[in-house]
Chains A and B, each alone.
Chain A
Amino acid sequence: MADKSNRPQLIVDGKRLDGRGFNQLRPLKIEASVLKNADGSAYLEWGNNKVLAAVYGPKEAMPKHVQDPAKAIIKCKYSMAPFSSMGEHSRSGPNRRAIEISKVTREAFESVTMLHDYPASEIDIFIEILQSDGGTRAAGITAAAVAMASAGIHMKDLIYAVSFGKVGEDLILDLNMIEDNYSDCDMPTAVSPRNNDLVLLQMDGSLTREQLHNGLQMVLDAGKTISQIQKEALQRVYEGSENGNGV
């Protein structure tokens, strides 16, 4: 979080800097099955974020000593392109932040993937942030979930992620870069929508018990929209099918 002493005014006349209301998502677009070689993939644009996610597998786990004879292991790599941010060129290669995000993302998917259906195998998830504008880990998870589904991986649910935060005493949803930098709290959350279980949760800043409750409610409400966009992305791939149920 940046130095708050020179914080720009993030909320003016009840509106956020980009004109959004407090509980309003940025425009979200997802396209499924965009890469030919990957077993599953998705491209996502969320505000100014541009994310590519791909899945390979399940395939034989390598090296052999990492194999679990009873179930699949998931490997996940989140990385940010050196040209992804507005401003200077950054160094490529994983830093501590990317390694942590890769880990919590992997764990989010472990909680819904039916690993026992694929003994001794591995599933690889790659998330490339091509352009970043705050909330990239949530964008990465939301894209990767579509990529996992488009790879035909057995899962209990199609997860989504979004963050909420706090400016002064106001709760805001889906923080962009500048809000992320100067907010009083940021809480990326990933959800399994079938039962609203939280499969990723990180937070720093300050939140009262009540704010936590209200913030999570904002996430779950927005989740209905996000889930719908995820499903429509998958539907579009199989458009023109012979049923009449809105596919």
Chain B
Amino acid sequence: MEGFDVVKISYVKELLLKNAREDGRKMMGFRPIKLVTNVIDHAEGSAQVDLGATRVLAAVKLQVEETMEDTPNQGNLMVSSELLPLAHAEFESGPPSPESIELSRVVDRGIRAAETVDLPGLFIEEGKAWTVFIDLYVLNYNGNLFDASMMAAMAALASAKMPKYDSEKKEGIYTERTEPLKINRLAASTTFAKVDKTILLDPNIHEENAASARITIANDGNVVRAMQKGLGGSFSPKEIESLVDVSLSKYDELKRIIEQAAGK
């Protein structure tokens, strides 16, 4: 972290003492969200989200593959993420960073645990099933990639269309995509940062830099589906419980945004 970040961290902390945030938000408020789908026609589903100045593109591709030995009766899900070097001066090209791997794995777990994608429904025939690839492309980084990525992934899945199956060639016919991909239920995630004693939702980059601990909670409106705590600090059980309440209370709002973007 460079010197300028240190000055901004002090400022974030100074503001929090006065119960204020840089952009005037409430502690449990999201930045403005703009979500649009079908931005990449070559993909089976796609969505781009602007969460404040954080921008993530999610694309869904479907492909016929051999079924896995341990799950011969269902399809598969693969989530990858790219912290593109064009998204931030400190992102570098090269093999995926631990941050990038964590991001894709947390989103993967949220989708899997909520059974968003109907994996058994992706089974085609003996030995063949669809694999759902989700690529998360971070285009501009300004904090909280988890929630932005989850939202983009959900909207991309909800807007995805299945290619037809060519039973002779055993592959997808990508020029014929009509049936929507079956979605069981949508998950939404909320990420909180703890700066000194204060906990806030949807940290921007300066707040993330100032944070001692971070937690992402994904839920489906009824139950918690995935969680991930990050950074060197900690939360008390009480804090986690109250954050789960906040997370559940945000679900309807986020679900509406995702459904609206996906035209549902």
- Whether A36 lies near B142 (C-beta < 8 A) is yes
Contacts A36-B142, A81-B135, A83-B135: A48 and B85 contacting too (C-beta < 8 A)?
no
Chain A nearest CB: distance from B160 CB in Å?
Answer: 11
- Decide if A37 is an interface residue (CB 8 Å cutoff): yes
Residue with the highest number of chain A CB atoms closer than 10 Å, among B43, B57, B80, B131 = B43
Residue with the highest number of chain B CB atoms closer than 10 Å, among A35, A53, A86 = A35
- Decide if A77 is an interface residue (CB 8 Å cutoff): yes
Q: Which residues of A have CB within 8 Å of B61? A: 82-83, 88-89
- Decide if B146 is an interface residue (CB 8 Å cutoff): no
- Decide if B19 is an interface residue (CB 8 Å cutoff): no
- Whether B42 lies near A52 (C-beta < 8 A) is no
Residue of B nearest to A85 (CB): B42
Q: How many residues of B contact A (CB 8 A)?
A: 33
- Whether A48 lies near B42 (C-beta < 8 A) is yes
- Whether B42 lies near A84 (C-beta < 8 A) is yes
Q: How many residues of A contact B (CB 8 A)?
A: 31
Q: Which residues of A have CB within 8 Å of B141? A: 37
Chain B nearest CB: distance from A130 CB in Å?
Answer: 6
Complex Cα distance, B84 from A53, in Å, reads: 11
Residue of A nearest to B59 (CB): A83
Contact of A83 among B85, B131, B133, B142 (CB under 8 A): B133
Interface hits, B1-43 → A, CB 8 Å: 40-43
Q: Which residues of B have CB within 8 Å of A106? A: none
Interface hits, B34-54 → A, CB 8 Å: 40-43, 46, 53
Q: Which residues of A have CB within 8 Å of B172? A: 87-88
Q: Which residues of B have CB within 8 Å of A138? A: none
Residue of A nearest to B64 (CB): A88
Q: Which residues of B have CB within 8 Å of A54? A: 86
- Whether B89 lies near A56 (C-beta < 8 A) is yes
Complex Cα distance, B46 from A84, in Å, reads: 11
- Whether B174 lies near A86 (C-beta < 8 A) is yes
Contacts A81-B137, A82-B61: A128 and B42 contacting too (C-beta < 8 A)?
no
Complex Cα distance, B174 from A84, in Å, reads: 13
Chain A nearest CB: distance from B198 CB in Å?
Answer: 26
Q: Which residues of A have CB within 8 Å of B142? A: 36-37
- Decide if B139 is an interface residue (CB 8 Å cutoff): yes
Complex Cα distance, B139 from A38, in Å, reads: 10
- Whether B40 lies near A130 (C-beta < 8 A) is yes
- Whether B86 lies near A126 (C-beta < 8 A) is yes
Chain A nearest CB: distance from B2 CB in Å?
Answer: 12
Contact of A128 among B55, B63, B86 (CB under 8 A): B86
A interface: dominant SS: loop
Complex Cα distance, B87 from A200, in Å, reads: 27
Contact with B along A65-79 (1 / 0, CB 8 A): 000000000000101
- Decide if A131 is an interface residue (CB 8 Å cutoff): yes
Residue of B nearest to A126 (CB): B86
Complex Cα distance, B140 from A124, in Å, reads: 16
- Whether A50 lies near B174 (C-beta < 8 A) is no
Residue of B nearest to A127 (CB): B86
- Whether B135 lies near A35 (C-beta < 8 A) is no
Interface hits, A79-104 → B, CB 8 Å: 79, 81-89, 92, 94
Residue of A nearest to B50 (CB): A36
- Decide if B82 is an interface residue (CB 8 Å cutoff): yes
Contact with A along B82-103 (1 / 0, CB 8 A): 1011111100010000000000
Residue of A nearest to B58 (CB): A83
Complex Cα distance, B91 from A77, in Å, reads: 13
Residue of A nearest to B62 (CB): A89
Q: Which residues of A have CB within 8 Å of B135? A: 81-83, 92
Chain B nearest CB: distance from A86 CB in Å?
Answer: 5
- Decide if A105 is an interface residue (CB 8 Å cutoff): no
Complex Cα distance, B4 from A138, in Å, reads: 38
Complex Cα distance, B55 from A92, in Å, reads: 20
Residue of B nearest to A57 (CB): B89
- Whether B174 lies near A87 (C-beta < 8 A) is yes
- Whether A131 lies near B63 (C-beta < 8 A) is no
Contact with B along A23-61 (1 / 0, CB 8 A): 000000000000111100100000010101110100100
Interchain Cβ contacts under 8 Å between A and B, 11 examples:
A36-B53, A37-B87, A59-B89, A83-B59, A83-B133, A83-B135, A84-B40, A88-B63, A89-B61, A128-B84, A132-B42
